[in-house]
Structures are given as C-alpha cells and as structure tokens.
Amino acid sequence: MYKIRKATIQDSRGIAVVQMDSYRTAYAAFFPKAYVEHFTYEEQEQDWIDLLKSETDDILLVATSTEKQVIGYVLARARPDIFPGYDSEVIALHVRKSFQRQGVGLALLQGAVEKLEEQGCKSVMLWTLKGNPVRKWYESLQGKFIGEKSYHVDDWTIDEVAYGWEKISALR
C-alpha cells in the first residue's frame, strides 16, 4: 500500500534518494557516467528543500509506503507558454524500482493532473528520453507524440521526445 500526498520539507531526503537512484539506474545508458555521478544525494536534497521553501505554484507530490518511506514523486507546473497548445508540464515522475508496476506512477500522475486542473489547466505535456522504455506507458495512456529535441552533455547527444494530452481530463 501507498499514500499520495503533498510533499513536505521532511520528504526532501527521500525524494533525493528516489531521484538519484532512478538517474543512476534507469538513465545510466542515456547520460555520460561522469555526468550522472557528479550529482550527490546531499545536493539534490538541498534543491528539494529550496523548492519547498520557495513561494512557487509548482506541484510536488510524493508517494509514501506504509512505513512512511518516500517511494516516488511527481513534479508538475502550470505554464501557459510551455509548449504550443499545452498549458502545463509534468517535469519529473520517478518511482523506486521495487514499487514500479504497482500503480504508484499512475496515482502520482493523476494526483498532479488533479492539482493542475485546480489551477485552471486544460492540457498537459512532458518530455522523456527517446530511448526510455516508459514511452510505451505514456502511449498506453493515450499520450500523443508532439515533438522532440536534442542537446549535448559532455560529448554525448541527449535525445528527448514529448508527449501531450490536449485534454488533461483524459489522464484522470
């Protein structure tokens, strides 16, 4: 079992652990090793503390286990100019590997969508790595391929693709 709720500063370490562990496993093939390894748990924890202390309208939800351990998180933002035809973005969605395929990711995504709708959003999009197998999941949720981009990290080219839902309610 798990619970979805708004993140608190006390969750910062748990969010950082989920984030870093996800980067070091799921993203290992997509980024240079040195790039992934230069991030630290402490640095990422401080980033989450700073975000949670800021006066932002960003949505940060966590999934916690029955032991109150952070097992996943979602970060989303309402932004009318994010991508042509879309007024919000899911910036990050990560679930601890041992809790994947149990509905946690979907529950986090639906929780974020609900909060975005409360902020008046009508559509949502997200970026993911082109080679990321999670793309099949977004497609199964009726996400429409809407674009792609590339950028460089060290000597690597990183390719990302965007998925969008013109009607945010389709994700509920």
Dump pLDDT digits (tens) for 28-65: 888 888 888 888 999 999 999 999 999 899 999 999 99
Of the two residues 163 and 153, the one the predictor is more confident about is 163
Number of structural domains (the chain) is 1
Cβ–Cβ under 8 Å, residues 114 and 4: no
Q: Residue 139: CB partners within 8 Å, gap ≥ 6?
A: 145, 163
Of residues 25 and 113, the one with the higher pLDDT is: 113
Place of tokens 């990302």: 160
> Residue 50 belongs to a domain with what CATH number?
3.40.630.30
Query: 167: left (phi > 0), else alpha (psi -120 to 50), else beta?
Result: beta
In whole angstroms, give the CA distance from residue 169 to residue 36. Answer: 35
Q: Do 123 and 140 form a contact (C-beta atoms < 8 A)?
A: no
Mean residue pLDDT of the chain comes to 94
Q: Give residue 125's domain range.
A: 2-171
- C-beta contacts of 131-140 below 8 A and 24+ residues apart: 131/29, 131/30, 131/159, 132/26, 132/30, 135/161, 135/163, 137/105, 138/163, 139/163
Averaged pLDDT, 74-94:
95
pTM, full prediction = 0.94
pLDDT of residue 105: 97
CA proximity to 83, closest of 162, 3, 167, 12 = 162
Please give the share of the chain, as a percent, with pLDDT higher than 70.
100
C-alpha 151/C-alpha 157 separation (Å) is 6
